[in-house]
Amino acid sequence: MSDIQVPSRLSTGYVPDKCEEAIINKLMKIVARLFFVGMIGLSATPLAAQQVSLNITIKNKAFQPSVLKAPANRPITITVHNADGVAAELESRTMRVEKVVAAGGTIVVNVKPLVPGNYRFFDDFNPSNQGTLVVE
């Protein structure tokens, strides 16, 4: 087996001048600051991304409760149980959700983080059945 030699600055004879050293030192400080800021941002992410869980039941062709509340800017999981003997479809154009729940069945709907506002949802098979998600 032969020895492999890795050239270094000394073996190549290259020595950076003071201007190059100053630039390298400045770049190293910038990289260190960016790394530190990135680490702070990563440690804050789990708090902002905590999922919110909500439950709703369809009974007698009505959402119960008809108004749900959730905090802004956090992912939302809505569990829908259909206690009726016919299928229903949870739909919301503003939340970009459309999912069928069988008679007596349960579904889980994942909603991306939303900005504050009122988000209307309804049963597409029974449009008079309506509700609102209030995001604050």
Give 10-residue mean pLDDT values along the chain (136 residues): 57 69 80 70 58 96 96 96 96 94 96 96 94 96
Helix then strand then coil, in percent of the chain rounded to 5, is 25, 40, 35
Query: Could you tell me which residues are beta bridge partners of residue 52?
Result: 76
Residue 118 has what pLDDT? 97
Q: What is d(CA 119, CA 81) in angstroms, rounded to the nearest whole number?
A: 20
Model-level pTM?
0.64
Residue 3 Rama label (left phi>0; alpha psi -120 to 50; beta): beta
Residue 14 has what pLDDT? 67
Residue 32 has what pLDDT? 76
Cα–Cα nearest to 92, from 60, 49, 51, 70? 70
